[in-house]
Structure 1
Amino acid sequence: MPPKLPRFKRKIPHEGAGRRTHPLIWLLAVICVIIAVAVVIVGLVVFIGYLVIHPRVPVISVTNAHLDLLRNDYAGLMETQITVVVRAQNGNAKAHATFSDIRFNLTFQGQGIAMLVADPFEVPKNSSRDLNYVVQSSSIPLTPDQMERINQAWKQNEIAFDLKGDARTQWRVGPLGSVKFACHLNCRLKFHPMNGSYIPSRCTSKSK
């Protein structure tokens, strides 16, 4: 008979065999988890606090204007120059505000005159910044209806231009990031063409 070959049986380790994790390591892990959860909770409280308290959102408004020039002829051409002061207001006393993507379209009876734009800029806490625009137009051809409206404006000593557009604003809120708003401006700027004076009216953006 051939000799019997040796047999080797794989030993299966019993549960719990090997080194056990030191209790101090478990304690450190629990402390780290608690700290991480606390940071998240504090961040959420800060973020929700901003939403609940609802500080004054950044706004854009027209604070002043002047009709420097208004000229029209019998050929139906209009020339104008308008000075517009736009104010970016940050009413938040705890965070700076960034304004960007500013684009406002100035028109007369649907006829485009100029686009008012600005590069991104920052307004400090509880502060404001004025943007001064001097809008000059070349000869703009008018329709017969628009010509009639200008003639009426001279007779009534009142003329209106429309200013519409958008801007984006942003607050930095703690470690969670930022809160963003979209400002929509839709105003009618009225003037006395005889002396170019501005007729004050409420012209403030709506945010959402």
Structure 2
Amino acid sequence: MPRFTSRNNGTSPFIWCAAIICAIISIVVIFGGIVVFVGYIIIHPRVPVISVAGAHLDFLKYDIVGVMQTQITIVIRSENDNAKAHALFDETEFALSYEGKTIAYLRQSEFEVGKERSVDYHYVVQSYPIPLSPTMMEAIDFAVKKDVITFELKGGSKTRWRVGPLGSVKFECNLSCELRFRPSDHSYIPSPCTSSHKH
């Protein structure tokens, strides 16, 4: 009768090395997650805030042909109320429009705001000549007579806080508000305009 024998070659060293590496990676990931979670609980960071701190209607002119030009200075404030964490603001962009028509964009490269600090950026927004539709002409005529002209500002910034090696958590701060001015003296009519995360 034929005889059957079994032979155990053992586990390959390559498999052992792969298993050890995977175990080390798993431990590092778990440990990193615990550190970030504990850091978040201890620091409990507040979401950074962006807001309109001020504005000014530098000039506004339009003619009977139906072309408008304007220049507006807008002050955007970035606030970081965290006492233990720096805040990074990135991909900051806003669109300024009149009667639904975009007339200019405001952009800012990445910047950092220190603990419990705020930073103001002054944007001088000069529009290109804007052809006005009959409806827009009526709207601007009415605005001048009423001495209140309204522009829309929409946009936001991607923010994140960081504390040394603890990693970072990302948020989005968005604005959607109306900027009102008096054409007679070019002054800004203040009104609340902050990102939706602030309570």
TM-score under structure 2 normalisation?
A: 0.79
Instruction: Give me the whole-angstrom Cα distance separating, in 1, the residues matched to 2:113 and 2:70.
Output: 31
Instruction: Give me the whole-angstrom Cα distance separating, in 2, the residues matched to 1:64 and 1:143.
Output: 29
Distance 1:181 1:38, change over 3 A: closer
1:206 is paired with a residue of what secondary structure? coil
Distance 1:59 1:38, change over 3 A: closer
Instruction: Give me the whole-angstrom Cα distance separating, in 1, the residues matched to 2:154 and 2:42.
Output: 33
Instruction: Give me the whole-angstrom Cα distance separating, in 1, the residues matched to 2:32 and 2:90.
Output: 31
Give aligned pairs, total: 170
Gaps of 5+ in 2: 1-29
- Is 1:187 aligned to 2:177, yes or no? yes
Q: 1:44 aligns with which of 33, 37, 40?
A: 37
Q: Which runs of 4+ in 1 moved over 4 A?
A: 37-43
User: What's the counterpart of residue 134 of structure 1?
Assistant: 124
Confirm or deny: 8 A CA contact 1:173 1:179 kept in the other structure. Answer: no
* Offset, 1:40: 6.6
User: What's the counterpart of residue 77 of structure 1?
Assistant: 67
Q: Alpha carbon RMSD of aligned pairs, Å?
A: 2.1
Instruction: Give me the whole-angstrom Cα distance separating, in 2, the residues matched to 1:154 and 1:42.
Output: 58
Confirm or deny: 8 A CA contact 2:55 2:74 kept in the other structure. Answer: yes
Gaps of 5+ in 1: 1-36
TM-score under structure 1 normalisation?
A: 0.76
Confirm or deny: 8 A CA contact 1:43 1:174 kept in the other structure. Answer: no
Higher Rg of the two aligned structures: 1
User: What's the counterpart of residue 147 of structure 1?
Assistant: 137
Instruction: Give me the whole-angstrom Cα distance separating, in 1, the residues matched to 2:36 and 2:50.
Output: 29
Confirm or deny: 8 A CA contact 1:162 1:187 kept in the other structure. Answer: yes
